[in-house]
Amino acid sequence: MPLLTINGKSSEVTSTSLEDLFHELSLPLPLMLVEYNGKALHRSEWSSVTLVEGDRLELMKVAAGG
């Protein structure tokens, strides 16, 4: 189980892919933005990411408002 830093907090997860991580954390895939180890990822890049110990993620949920 990799130990990741997610939004500044250490988190031990069972997932090894971003999409699995979203399901594990019950996050809505269509509304998510991802920064992976300091790099913003386009949604098309998500499937190529394998999560490993020490990775740093910033996960943001898009919210509309006015």
| Comparison of pLDDT for 5 and 30, the residue scoring more | 5
Q: Going from the N-terminus, what domains does the chain have, and what CATH number goes with each?
A: 3-61 (3.10.20.30)
Q: What is the mean pLDDT of the chain?
A: 93
d(CA 65, CA 49): 31
Mean pLDDT, range 53-66, rounded to an integer: 90
Is this prediction's pTM over 0.85?
yes
What does the pLDDT read at residue 65? 78
d(CA 40, CA 13): 21
- The answer to whether residue 53 scores a pLDDT higher than 70 is yes
What does the pLDDT read at residue 44? 95
Q: How far is CA 47 from CA 19, 22, 43, 44, 66, in A?
A: 7, 12, 8, 7, 33
Q: How far is CA 54 from CA 13, 32, 50, in A?
A: 12, 21, 12
What does the pLDDT read at residue 66? 64
